[in-house]
Amino acid sequence: MWLFSRKNKLSDEELLQSYLRSGNKALIGELFEKHVTTVYGVCLFYLRDKSTAQDAVMQIFEKLMTELAKTEIRNFKAWLGFVVRNYCINEIRRNKSKYVVPESYLDFELKQPNLEEEETIAKVKDEELLQHMKEVLPGLKDKQRLCVELFYLKQKSYQAIVDETGWSLNEVKSYIQNGKRNLKLMIEKKMDNK
């Protein structure tokens, strides 16, 4: 399938920064090459067909060429996992007649945070950030604060928050997303003032 030739031992972030500085697309190829086996495995898991999974890998690689230049990425591996998962779920939704999957299969995103959010949870568990978070959390609007607390601190799923609050799924996602953004800005401001 894919042959690897590790040209250098740069980290993902170093390769990404080199690409952003130089525009050398070979660096994207090298970056993608480091993760292609995992990308293929995830595509195969979702799409259940080797040929379709291989096609998906190529489509995702092409998508990287455009997305990397316009997206701020702090953790390439987590971001790539998010892109792959979303691509596969969208592919399944577009071709529902082709895929026979249990209904709960597509509802996965309602029960689990996405990879980008999981990365944020891991950062929040850092003691210093957690302390800052607790200090600035009261500054959020009530609905945002409640959703952020339930999602990040109590690690409840979207659906559990919907059930507990009575708000719609879209409202919960919006409160979490806006709350997370506002929280990040408040934490950064607090850390800059130290």
Q: What is the pLDDT of residues 41-53, one digit of tens each?
A: 889 888 888 999 9
Long-range Cβ contacts of 20-27 (<8 Å, 24+ apart) = 20/68, 20/69, 25/65
For 86, counting Cβ atoms within 10 Å of its Cβ (0-12 exposed, 13-18 middle, 19+ buried), the class is middle
Residue intervals in the chain for CATH 1.10.10.10 = 115-192
Helix (H, G, I), strand (E, B) or coil at 80: helix
Residue intervals in the chain for CATH 1.10.1740.10 = 12-102
Better-predicted residue by pLDDT, 143 or 73:
143
Q: Alpha-carbon distance 121 to 28, whole Å?
A: 27
Distances (CA, A) of 27 to 56, 77, 126: 20, 15, 32
Which of 15-19, 77-81, 114-118 shows the lowest mean pLDDT across its residues?
A: 114-118
Tokens of 134: 């607790």
Better-predicted residue by pLDDT, 102 or 25:
25
Q: What is the pLDDT of residues 115-171, one digit of tens each?
A: 445 444 444 444 555 676 778 888 889 999 998 888 877 878 888 899 899 998 888
Rounded to an integer, the average pLDDT of 25-35 is 87
Task: Kindly report the average pLDDT of the chain as a whole number.
Answer: 77
Q: Does the pTM exceed 0.85? A: no
Q: Are 7 and 30 in contact (CB under 8 A)?
A: yes
How much is the pLDDT for 113?
46
CATH assignment, 12-102: 1.10.1740.10
Tokens of 38: 């995992």
Q: Alpha-carbon distance 122 to 129, whole Å?
A: 10
CATH 3.40.190.170 applies to domain 115-192: no
Nearest to 81 by CA among 23, 125, 123, 41: 41
For 93, how many CA atoms within 13 A lie in the half-sphere containing its CB? 8
